Amino acid sequence: MRKPIIAGNWKMHMTIESGKAFVKEVAASLGDTEVEVVLCVPFTLIQPLSTAAEGTPVKIAAQNMHYEDFGAFTGEVSADMLKEVGATYVVIGHSERRQYFNETDETVNLKLKKAHASGLKPIVCCGETLEEREAGTTESVVKRQVEAAFEGISPELAAETVVAYEPVWAIGTGRTATAAQAQEVIAYIRSLVEAKYGDEVSEEMRIQYGGSVKPDNVEEIMNEVDIDGALVGGASLKPDSFLSLVNF
Ligand SMILES: O=C[C@H](O)COP(=O)(O)O
């Protein structure tokens, strides 16, 4: 049985004060949730929110990292630096990183290896653009991204990796993939994992859907057999809304 994982991706939103108040409010309402609850926050919020989340089920994630340990990489942050300030998860290869910051399949793979080596739990994103979907290349795009990401990753570490399928056309647009569309691609991703690693790993791996997930569509999405969670942007910014997602 795979444990559901609901992750809020705050992108470039929130402050230390609003973030701490958010964690306090959400943690107070969570109780003994069966869901893994993750907040992917800006770098500057990782330490204060990790402290605020201590003793609660809330886990704090970074939204990106560099694949080198240290060096002349102005503006970058390493995996060990993220661990040092309390991050437990890290998002790798979000489409906004791919689109605006030259993230490639190759750097996604290097980051995945480094995250695992450092003991950070990776959430690796993949997903096609609208043009790619309309051209009928969704599966080949996702196949390329997933195979490249997992190049050289052992079965044990693959099983511990979370994959987030996020069709780019559904991100922040209000245009959600239907639950059936999301299920179809996520089942395909699971079949790719099975082909590479076998049954056990593909059954163990958690795969999220992301793209305009909201309180009113989360249940339908989570009811799909291969969907184990959601990676949520806009609807994760308000405690009430985020709690509704966690309590799908
Ligand atoms: O990482 C989250 C995704 O980009 C989805 O964002 P959204 O829920 O605002 O569409």
Domains of the chain: 5-246 (3.20.20.70)
Query: Residue 177 has what pLDDT?
Result: 87
Identify whether 66 is a catalytic site residue: no
Query: Residue 24 has what pLDDT?
Result: 97
Q: What's the 236 CA to ligand 1 centre distance in angstroms?
A: 9
Cα separation, 84 vs 139, whole angstroms: 38
Q: What's the 198 CA to ligand 1 centre distance in angstroms?
A: 30
Q: What is the pLDDT along the chain (248 residues), one digit of tens a residue?
A: 899 999 999 999 999 999 999 999 999 999 889 999 999 999 999 999 999 999 999 999 999 999 999 999 999 999 999 999 999 999 999 999 999 999 999 999 999 999 999 999 999 999 999 999 999 999 999 999 999 999 999 999 999 999 999 999 998 888 888 999 999 999 999 999 999 999 999 999 999 999 999 999 999 999 999 999 999 999 999 999 999 999 99
- Binding site: what residues are annotated? 9-11, 172, 212, 233-234
DSSP string, 17-57: HHHHHHHHHHHHHH-S-SSEEEEE--HHHHHHHHHHHTTSS
Cα separation, 21 vs 221, whole angstroms: 29
Interface ipTM above 0.95 = yes
Pocket residue to mutate for ligand 1, from 232, 241, 242, most atoms within 8 A of Cβ: 232
Size of the chain in residues: 248
The active-site residue, picked from 94, 116, 128, 132, is 94
Residues whose beta carbon lies within 6 Å of some atom of ligand 1: 9, 94, 166, 171-172, 210-213, 231-235
